[in-house]
Amino acid sequence: MKICVLDIGGTAIKAGICENGALSDLREFATEAKLGGMHVAERAQEIIESYRREHEFSRIGISTAGQVDPVQGSIIWANENIPGYTGMRLKDRMEEAFGIPVDVENDVNAAALGEAVFGAGKGLRDFVCLTYGTGVGGALFLDGKLYGGSSYSAGEFGAVVTHPEKRDLRQGFFSGCYEKYASATALVERAGALDASLTDGRAIFARKEEPAVAEVIDAWIEEIVYGLITIIHMLNPAGVILGGGVMEQPCVPEKIRERLYENIMPSFRGVQIKKAELGNRAGLLGASVLHEKR
């Protein structure tokens, strides 16, 4: 069965056709998120229409930023990266437009599903998946199934408070929270305070042998480990899958493993720390099997 798949992010919308786990005709478009949620939905519809002119497909799968009700196919909540996206009923909109079934899921959940079926999560019945990027996203697989929680929002690991002394709601909801210290954004902020020319991960890791830069990277890795200690002791997963472009730096997962195992109880040290395998294809592949994994 051919499925048209989309992965809607704050910066780009990735799209393609998937058949039996094989992606083809991959394309990427600017999200233009600042123009608002209605514009993003219209843009997604235009993209699907462009595929329909060239392909026959019988289903649509959508991975999207924001907290998602997968039953209703609607956005429960989205931050101001996509203004006005909260409440958007993507499933209803696309089913009305195209007359075929549509499945919608949160982007990190979709990526975790992709890893479970096609990537690093194969063979693991219980694992957590975390992505380190602008923030820290998370998803849980429990007993072989994606776990959404009572309101489909489980896995908000970025909101775990790791620095209570910094907690101040006047400074934002995520003050003192994991993603403020462990995200790729946090690494760039730390490095930028050292040298304003260090504006992204590539620039930072190109200079990782410099003592001052190495110190910044080490301090950031410690922050990643702090959160993982809590998550692992709470959930006792068989695996932890680490995603996000920054994890492509081999030294990062290696150092996380080194520091993590000595900081968790011996009975928890069987947990596998794995790098995500599917890269930016994870969300699209996950979107292709949403209808099978409900």
For residue 288, what are its two tokens? Answer: 């292709």
- The amino acid at residue 137 is G
Verdict on whether the full-model pTM lies above 0.75: yes
Q: Quick one: three-class SS letters along 228-247?
A: HHHHHHHHCCCEEEEECHHH
Residue range 161-183, pLDDT digits in tens: 999 999 999 998 899 999 999 99
For the chain, give percent helix, strand, coil, nearest 5. Answer: 45, 25, 35
- Overall size of the chain counted in residues: 294
**Helices of type H across 86-206:** 90-98, 107-118, 178-182, 184-194, 201-206
For domain 122-276, give the fold.
Nucleotidyltransferase; domain 5 (3.30.420)
For 277, list phi and psi in degrees, rounded to 5.
-100, -20
pLDDT at 294 (0 to 100): 64
Q: CATH says 2-110+281-288 is which class?
A: alpha beta
CA torsion angle for 195, 198, 204, 207 (degrees, to 10)? Answer: -60
Query: In which residue are the tokens 């110190």 written?
Result: 215
Q: Strand 145-147 and strand 102-106: pairing?
A: unpaired
How far apart CA 181 and CA 149 sit, in angstroms, is: 25
Residues 6+ apart with CB under 8 A from 4: 15, 16, 17, 48, 51, 52, 55, 57, 59, 60, 61
Tens-digit pLDDT string for the chain (294 aa): 999 999 999 889 999 999 999 999 999 999 999 999 999 999 999 999 999 999 999 999 999 999 999 999 999 999 888 999 999 999 999 999 999 999 999 999 999 999 999 999 999 999 999 999 888 999 999 999 999 999 999 999 999 999 999 999 999 889 999 999 999 999 999 999 999 999 999 999 999 999 999 999 999 999 999 999 999 999 999 999 999 999 999 999 999 999 999 999 999 999 999 999 999 999 999 999 999 976
Domain coordinates of the chain in residue numbers? 2-110+281-288, 122-276
